Amino acid sequence: MNVAVVGATGLVGTKMLQVLEERQFPVSTLIPVASERSAGKSIVFRGKSYPVVQLEEAVRLRPDVALFSAGGSTSKEWAPRFAEAGTIVIDNSSAWRMDPDKKLVVPEVNAAVLTSADRIIANPNCSTIQMVVALKPLHDRYRIKRIVVSTYQSVTGTGVKAVDQLMQERKGEHGEKAYPYPIDLNLLPHIDVFLDNGYTKEEMKMVLETKKIMGDDSIRVTATTVRVPVIGGHSESVNVEFERDFDLAEVRKILAMAPGIVVTDNPAKLEYPMPLLAHDRDEVFVGRLRRDESQPNSLNMWIVSDNLRKGAATNAVQIAEYLLAKGMLGQEKKQDAFSA
């Protein structure tokens, strides 16, 4: 596979390169793509140096697949151009997620919706990904009626500028700020912009994306998203109401058997998911499983995952792996060659 990584020098792009290498994705030629600021730079991948190119050049090279992590405006402009050149685009921005003609995919949940006709595939929001991975097997068994989620999201979700702000504040230094307030020794109940309904855009992403990924508009979702001074992953407190009653032992068994999930739930030994333990891991960690004693058929759970990996880079690479396994990657180019 000829693979382009658009935004290769950013936090998520760097992680995509790491995940491609770790998972031994069959990359014959890497095409690292970045803005003009990165002109002249090179990327080392599997011991080989590749020059960073700009978008126009990358389109001309017609990669089999392009992993995008360069922001919504870039994706809106350039993803269609890659697609027209025969490239399958897997986009990590919010640009295409709610487009009715584009698939929004978490492989453990809904990979089966993909077809060879899909040229632009959306990667969901990081906090949505980890939640639906944990909830889908329970939805299949008990049917979800309502989800109440509060998130505790790492500064890495904002980017390098936010990480720098946290580290500078921790050292007592002053520098460029990613947030309107200090983040060290603080938390901000404000991720992305506020909307007219009083929710933030991040909160509404979780509401709308969950329904689309799960394929069920009847699920009611409400969210509060919070930025915390953490590096390593996002955490979520989730209260879920089911149509049917459940047995906690069965819940644990269902989760333990589900792909991509690690159950860490032993209060007697103080074992529960934490960002520190999820850092640089691909799994979704689930714990603090307990019945909501105030509401029938309701479960409380705590979900943690590395937002740069499963919440972004790993999920994108897993989509590419699925397409490859199903023979959907490179099909247009093969057809072109056959026609010629």
Q: In the chain, what is the greatest distance between 2 CA atoms, to the nearest angstrom? A: 67
| Active-site hit among 126, 139, 190, 279 | 126
Locus of tokens 């097997």 = 137
What 8-state DSSP symbol labels residue 181?
A: S
The reply to whether 174 belongs to the active site is no
Burial 104-127 (b: 16+ CB within 10 A, else e): bbbbbbbbeebeeebbbbbbbbbb
Note the Cα 339 to chain centre separation in Å.
37
Q: How far from 245 is each of 160, 214, 287, 297, CA to CA, in Å?
A: 44, 20, 19, 5
Residue 5: Cβ-neighbour burial (10 angstroms; 0-12, 13-18, 19+): buried
The reply to whether 126 belongs to the active site is yes
DSSP letter for each residue of 252-295 = HHHHHHSTTEEE--BGGGTB---HHHHTT--SEEEEEEEE-TTS
Name the token pair of 9.
């020098």
| Active-site hit among 139, 190, 234, 279 | 234
Q: Catalytic residue numbers?
A: 126, 234
